[in-house]
Amino acid sequence: QVQLQESGPGLVRPSETLSLTCTVSGDSMNNYYWTWIRQPPGKGLEWIGYVYHSGSTSYNPSLKSRVTISLDTSKNQFSLKLSSVTAADTAVYYCVRDQEGAYGMDVWGQGTTVSVSS
Amino acid sequence: DIQMTQSPPSLSASVGDRVTITCRASQSISGKLNWYQQKPGKAPNLLIFLASTLQNGVPSRFSGSGSGTDFTLTISTLQPEDFGTYYCQQSYIPPLTFGGGTKVDIK
């Protein structure tokens, strides 16, 4: 059974870079879109972007200038970097497996809370 | 970006009721519509993909329908464990977008 686990700092200073890693266990990383989703406190879900197993990426235009998502298949991990953070980036961050063929996001990590504060 | 609009934002229903949630896309999404359930403090859970296909392990009281821009999630007989917030999501074209959510409470 595939599982995803986020890891990274829970507190980031304003203007610094948020860095999270997602470790994938129980399956290979082939043929999926490895995705980051975030949810600000009390609000809805926002798609940040994905890295495909080939290494190609797609980002939300609202964050594109600040986001990098990368893949390390040798470690079965993918990562998120979000630069120049502000309080508006405070959220629960989920790593997610999104299936080819628009079959939906079928596996989610438990989520990790990241607060941006000095 | 494709905008996804859900209604109602919230509802309260009794066990055994039939519940319907609607989702409208700002343009046609060729049936590439998914539904998720999220319980407080938990990650969302995929219920339905491609508008009407039930994800493995999801109870058959959940169903989805629709095409073009208009979609519906139906819970045929509401159960106590069905409380939570339901989100639609389009997977037609990036940026992938979600509806604002429908919070379902059990009376």
Q: Do A45 and B92 touch (CB under 8 A)?
A: no
From the CA atom positions of chain A, what is the Rg in Å? 13
| Mean pLDDT value across chain B | 98
CB contact under 8 A, A58 and B94: yes
Say yes or no: B6 contacts chain A, CB-CB below 8 A: no
State residue A86's pLDDT score: 98
Secondary structure of residue A25 in the 3-state scheme:
strand
pLDDT tens for A3-39 read 999 999 999 999 999 999 999 999 888 999 999 999 9
Measured CA to CA in angstroms, residue A66 lies from A6, A22, A82, A94, A98 at distances of: 20, 19, 5, 18, 22
3-state secondary structure (DSSP) of residue A8:
coil
> CA–CA distance from B32 to each of A103, B19, B72, B99 (Å)?
8, 22, 13, 14
Q: Do A104 and B101 lie within an 8 Å CB cutoff?
A: no
Partner residue opposite A61 with nearest CB, options B44, B95, B98: B95
Residue A91 confidence class, pLDDT cut points 50, 70, 90: very high
At residue A106, does pLDDT exceed 90?
yes
CB atoms within 10 A of CB B102: 22
Query: Which residues 24-63 of chain B have a CB within 8 Å of chain A?
Result: 32, 34, 36, 42-46, 48-50, 53, 55
* Nearest neighbour of A45 by CB, restricted to B44, B45, B91: B44
User: Across residues B88-106, what is the average pLDDT?
Assistant: 97
Residues from A in contact with B at Cβ < 8 Å: 44-47, 49, 58-62, 94, 98-99, 102-106, 108-111
Tell me the CA distances in angstroms from B5 to A52, A76, B93, B98, one per residue in order.
28, 36, 16, 8
B16-42: average pLDDT: 98
Q: How far is B30 from chain A (nearest CA, A)?
A: 11
Top residue of B42, B55, B91 to mutate, by most chain A CBs within 10 Å, is B91
* Contact call for residues A70 and A95 (beta carbons, < 8 A): no
